[in-house]
Amino acid sequence: MPHVVTQACCGDASCVYACPVNCIHPTPEEPGFGTSEMLYIDPSTCVDCGACVSACPVGAIVPGHRLTDEQARFTDVNAAHFDPTGDGATRFPVDPARRLPLAPIDKPHQLAVDSPVSVAIVGSGPSAMYAADELLRQPQISVTIYERLRRPFGLARYGVAPDHLSTRSVMRLFDDIAGNPRCDIRLGMTIGRDLTLDDLRERHSAVIWAGGAPTDRRLAIDNASAPGVHSATALVGWYNDHPDHDHLDIDLATPRAVVIGNGNVALDVARILTTDAESLADTSISRHALSALRSSAIDEVVVLGRRGPTHAAFTLPELIGLVDHGANVVVDPDDLAHAPVPAADDATTRAKIDLLAEVAARTPRRGRRIRLAFHRSPVGVDVDTDGRAAGVVVAHNTVDLTGAITPTGTTDTIDAGLVLTSIGYRGIAVPGLPFDDARGVIPHSAGRVVDDGVPVPGMYVTGWIKRGPSGFIGTNKTDSAETVASLLTDLEAGLLPEHGRPRRRRILSRLG
Ligand SMILES: Cc1cc2nc3c(=O)[nH]c(=O)nc-3n(C[C@H](O)[C@H](O)[C@H](O)COP(=O)(O)OP(=O)(O)OC[C@H]3O[C@@H](n4cnc5c(N)ncnc54)[C@H](O)[C@@H]3O)c2cc1C
Ligand SMILES: NC(=O)c1ccc[n+]([C@@H]2O[C@H](COP(=O)([O-])OP(=O)(O)OC[C@H]3O[C@@H](n4cnc5c(N)ncnc54)[C@H](OP(=O)(O)O)[C@@H]3O)[C@@H](O)[C@H]2O)c1
Ligand code: SF4
Ligand code: SF4
């Protein structure tokens, strides 16, 4: 039986390069790689060699005959990517004429530079670790990673949910990278406080900023700062032992919580708040969160989407993971009745709606539940006489196939003593570097930091602070590969500054 990619996929494409018959798609060279919710194995060409299994850093690939009940649905998810209409006629998106007999061989470029080169990386999240890995393939290069926290790996440690054990195991790969003798990792060093960016530029030939998008987007509605309203960023940090959030004063003595936004972070938060606390006891969850969850009074978590199921921000693999791992999920059939029908070849959205319809048709179980609610925009937080959150006022919408929202004019209030905003993350400006305030990113061209269109010598950027807060852990691998390729090109061209002094600044300014 062919091998199958399951929901733990973090999209780093390591399997693509391991597969001898090129049956895992989309590859980084193909359209759709950056936006694909996971990678898929073509069951008609997989020869069951197992090479991809050992290449995968998170154990996401399973031989067909070893799939658990919770993973079984992924057989169809993989197959539907190549045959979305199910008639065997459409081979999408792989054109057989362009199918290579062998996967591309990733041969490292040998640098035409003899002298030792030192590169600083700010941050130790996935983008930093993938950049370090790529740089360390060159024997002349040594890397120093500066991380503000006392424990490394950014959101791989402090974001990924504690019950997602296989995804968290990517930290073993990062540990291996950090263990390279040419990699020095300095924890508890905040650049901008303990050392300045200029200090780094004095000490290293190049600096890659990989500081992530550490804050959350703010919701501009009435009473958004009332007690009882928190950001998902804070709650995730609280349950993952992030030192900035371990003192979060969160009150779980309320029967209902509302999570505003329905991305994968919202699903994580809803799942952690409704999972039996004892089943989390053996995970990395913080002791303070475990203790609070043990005495939680929460019965229902409402995950609020302003648009409909067709445009839900959560991904199909995460929805399958939620439903098939036994979460008590509730969907109102009315929400599906009004969902625009996705295109015939949009296998992912169709499967998402089919699964939501399957859930909506079930008789709800007793006990703690997650209610996926759609077509409702938050317009304010209702407060009680003490000024604490008591509910969320929502305006009902209709949504067309393009995703455009039209309010129906109806509003109501969902009672809730805990309100969590999960509407995305946001990067913050770095003193001394240009910043695109509208997008919350550092402007760049192929990873070179640019100021008014002109590259800043020796300064590079990668990860969420480069492309914005979206994508999986593995998305940062291709992102960092692009940045490192630009850095190596500049190095070979003699364009990197030496101890802060650019060698050929005018030539650099011509690079795009
Ligand atoms: C809650 C949550 C859960 C997620 N779960 C998953 C998942 O299950 N699977 C998946 O594939 N993807 C998941 N993701 C997405 C994934 O975590 C991101 O794609 C990835 O972490 C982005 O990497 P990054 O290196 O850009 O940023 P980060 O991981 O945020 O790393 C940035 C690092 O820079 C450090 N830093 C910042 N400023 C400074 C400074 N001035 N000096 C020194 N250090 C600094 C920070 O402390 C941090 O360690 C999740 C994201 C979130 C928010
Ligand atoms: N397991 C995993 O693989 C995993 C886990 C966690 C995170 N991640 C990744 O990390 C990234 C960030 O995830 P995320 O959940 O923070 O962000 P996200 O996927 O961008 O979702 C943000 C949600 O907030 C909603 N929203 C935005 N502004 C709003 C407003 N003003 N009012 C109401 N709703 C609003 C969005 O609705 P609209 O769609 O209508 O704009 C969307 O539902 C994603 O790429 C995600 O896939 C992956
Ligand atoms: S089992 Fe072998 S042929 Fe099948 S996807 Fe994995 S590497 Fe490719
Ligand atoms: S996590 Fe990486 S190696 Fe594993 S299945 Fe996904 S893309 Fe392939």
> Is the pLDDT reported for residue 469 higher than 70?
yes
Whether residues 229 and 359 fall in one domain? yes
Whether residues 238 and 169 fall in one domain? no
Count of structural domains within the chain: 3
> Listing from the earlier edge strand, what are the strands of the sheet with 183-187?
183-187, 141-147, 117-122, 206-209, 454-461, 448-451, 444-445
pLDDT band at 369 (very low <50, low <70, confident <90, very high): very high
Query: Would you call 488 helix, strand, or coil by DSSP?
Result: helix
Whether residues 384 and 448 fall in one domain? no
Whether residues 437 and 471 fall in one domain? yes
pLDDT band at 7 (very low <50, low <70, confident <90, very high): confident
Q: Which-ligand-closest: CA of 9?
A: 4
CB count within 10 Å of CB 95 equals 9
Q: What is the mean pLDDT of residues 315-343?
A: 92
Identify the residue with better confidence: 225 or 504. 225
Whether residues 154 and 238 fall in one domain? no
> Is the pLDDT reported for residue 89 higher than 70?
no
What does the pLDDT read at residue 93? 53
pLDDT tens across 114-153, in order? 899 999 999 999 999 999 999 999 999 999 999 999 999 9
Whether residues 196 and 247 fall in one domain? no
Instruction: In whole angstroms, give the CA distance from residue 459 to residue 206.
Output: 6
Q: What is the mean pLDDT of residues 32-44?
A: 92
Q: What is the CATH number of the domain that holds 328?
A: 3.50.50.60
Whether residues 291 and 301 fall in one domain? yes
Residue 9 lies in a domain: yes
Residue 332 lies in a domain: yes
Whether residues 236 and 267 fall in one domain? yes
- Domain containing 24 equals 3-98
Is the distance from CB of 139 to CB of 165 less than 8 angstroms? no
In sequence order, the 6+-apart residues with CB closer than 8 A to the CB of 69 are 324
The token pair that represents 28 in the structure block: 């980084």
pLDDT band at 507 (very low <50, low <70, confident <90, very high): very low
Q: What is the mean pLDDT of residues 384-407?
A: 95
CA of 23 to the centre of ligand 3 (A): 7
Whether residues 377 and 433 fall in one domain? no
**21, 25, 82: which to mutate for ligand 3, most atoms within 8 A of CB?**
21
Identify the residue with better confidence: 174 or 364. 174
What does the pLDDT read at residue 340? 83
Whether residues 235 and 361 fall in one domain? yes
CA of 32 to the centre of ligand 3 (A): 21
Q: What is the mean pLDDT of residues 38-44?
A: 94
Q: What is the CATH number of the domain that holds 166?
A: 3.40.50.720
CA 499, 504, 509, 511 dihedral sign is: negative
Tell which of 65, 98, 131 closes a domain: 98
Instruction: In whole angstroms, give the CA distance from residue 376 to residue 332.
Output: 13
For the chain, the residue count is 512
Q: What is the CATH number of the domain that holds 50?
A: 3.30.70.20
Share of the chain above pLDDT 90, in %: 83
Q: What is the mean pLDDT of residues 180-203?
A: 97
Tell which of 404, 424, 444 closes a domain: 424
Tell which of 399, 424, 449 closes a domain: 424
Atom of ligand 2 nearest to the CA of 311: 39
**473, 479, 482, 483: which to mutate for ligand 1, most atoms within 8 A of CB?**
473
Residue 109 lies in a domain: no
Residue 303 lies in a domain: yes
CA of 183 to the centre of ligand 2 (A): 34
Residue 106 lies in a domain: no
Atom of ligand 1 nearest to the CA of 154: 49
Whether residues 433 and 351 fall in one domain? no
> Is the pLDDT reported for residue 506 higher than 80?
no
Query: Would you call 142 helix, strand, or coil by DSSP?
Result: strand
Residue 105 lies in a domain: no
Residue 110 lies in a domain: no
In sequence order, the 6+-apart residues with CB closer than 8 A to the CB of 199 are none
Residue 267 lies in a domain: yes
Whether residues 82 and 130 fall in one domain? no
What are the pocket residues of ligand 3 if the criterion is a CB atom closer than 6 Å to any ligand atom? 3, 18-19, 21, 23-24, 41, 46-52
